[in-house]
Amino acid sequence: MPEYTDWGSLTAACLQCRACGLCETRRNVVVGVGPKTAEILFIGEGPGENEDKQGEPFVGRGGQLLDLALHAVGLDRRRNVYIGNAVKCRPPQNRDPLPEETEACAHWLQNQIELLNPKIIVCLGRVSACRMIKPDFKVTREHGQFFEIGGRLMMGTLHPAAVLRDPNKKGDWFADFVALRAKIREVCTHTELIDPAEFA
Ligand code: URA
C-alpha cells in the first residue's frame, strides 16, 4: 500500500516537503506532469532554472527537444505519458543531485510509480537510470535496452541535455524512442499513439 493513496494527497504533501536542503533554495516543487492514466513514465534528474520557475518538468531547451522526440513517435506530455524527476526540487547551479537528496526524495517517486502503475519506465540520463535500473548502469553502452524489474519494463536513454551538448548523439537517442514506440505497441493496452502530423 503506498503512503498516499491518491494523487491529490500525494501532491499536497509533496509541495510541503522539507526533507532535504534543496527546500531552502527552491521556488517550486516540481511534482510531475501528464495524465494519471499514462502507461509510460519518463524520469529525469531534477528541475533546472526554468522548471523551478514554472513548476513543470522539462520546460527549458532540453524539454523542447524531449517534446520533439516524444511527438515524433506519437507521444505527448498532456495526452499519453507522465514525466517526473528523481528529485523534485532544483539543485543550486544545476549541479547533480547529491545521493542523500535523491534518497530523501525517492519515496515520492516510488509513491508516484505505485499510483500510476506504468507498464514502461524510461530513465532520462545516468542519475535516474542508476537509481531505477542498476547502480552501475552505463548510458553509453546500455541505452535503449529494456530491463524487466519488479514487473515493469525499464529503459535508460540519454538525457536531453547530453543530446543538446553533443548533437551527434541525436541518432542514438531517436533510435531509443523508436524502440520505445515498438515496445508500447507490444505491451501497452490503452496508449493511443498520436499521428505525428498533428504536431507539424
Ligand atoms: N532536467 C531534468 O532532468 N529534469 C527537468 O525537469 C529539467 C531538466
CA of 86 to the centre of ligand 1 (A): 9
Q: Which triple of cell numbers denotes residue 87?
A: 528529485
**Residue 144: pLDDT over 90:** yes
User: pTM of the entire structure?
Assistant: 0.98
Q: What's residue 29's pLDDT?
A: 98
When pLDDT is averaged across residues 54-63 and rounded to a whole number, the result is 98
Is the C-beta atom of 62 inside 6 A of ligand 1? yes
Is the C-beta atom of 74 inside 6 A of ligand 1? no
Q: What's residue 184's pLDDT?
A: 98
Backbone angles phi, psi at 91, to 5 degrees: -70, 130
Asked whether 51 and 131 are in contact (CB, 8 A), the reply is no
> Rounded to an integer, what distance in angstroms lies between the CA atom of residue 127 and that of residue 131?
6
3-state DSSP: the chain helix, strand, coil percent, rounded to 5?
Answer: 45, 10, 40
Test site for ligand 1: of 66, 85, 93, 163, most ligand atoms within 8 A of the Cβ: 85
Rounding to the nearest 10 degrees, give the CA dihedral for residues 160, 162, 164, 170. Answer: -80
Residue nearest to atom 6 of ligand 1 (CA): 57
Q: Please state the domain extents for the chain.
A: 7-199
Q: What's residue 140's pLDDT?
A: 97
Q: What's residue 17's pLDDT?
A: 98
Q: What's residue 1's pLDDT?
A: 84
Residue 3: CB partners within 8 Å, gap ≥ 6? 10, 107, 111
Query: What percentage of the chain carries pLDDT values higher than 70?
Result: 100
Backbone angles phi, psi at 33, to 5 degrees: -145, 145
Q: What's residue 200's pLDDT?
A: 86
List pLDDT tens digits, range 71-127.
999 999 999 999 999 999 999 998 999 999 999 999 999 999 999 999 999 999 999
Q: Which triple of cell numbers denotes residue 44?
A: 529525469
Q: Which triple of cell numbers denotes residue 71?
A: 511527438
> Rounded to an integer, what distance in angstroms lies between the CA atom of residue 185 and that of residue 162?
27
Q: Which residues, in sequence order, are bridge partners of residue 146? A: 155
> Rounded to an integer, what distance in angstroms lies between the CA atom of residue 48 and that of residue 21?
16
Q: What's residue 106's pLDDT?
A: 97
List pLDDT tens digits, range 161-188.
999 999 999 999 999 999 999 999 999 9
Q: What is the CATH number of domain 7-199?
A: 3.40.470.10
Confidence of residue 22 (pLDDT cuts 50, 70, 90): very high
Is the C-beta atom of 34 inside 6 A of ligand 1? no
Give ∠ CA 42-45-10 in degrees, rounded to 5.
65
CA of 102 to the centre of ligand 1 (A): 14
Please, what is the average pLDDT of the chain? 97
Is the C-beta atom of 51 inside 6 A of ligand 1? yes
Is the C-beta atom of 58 inside 6 A of ligand 1? yes
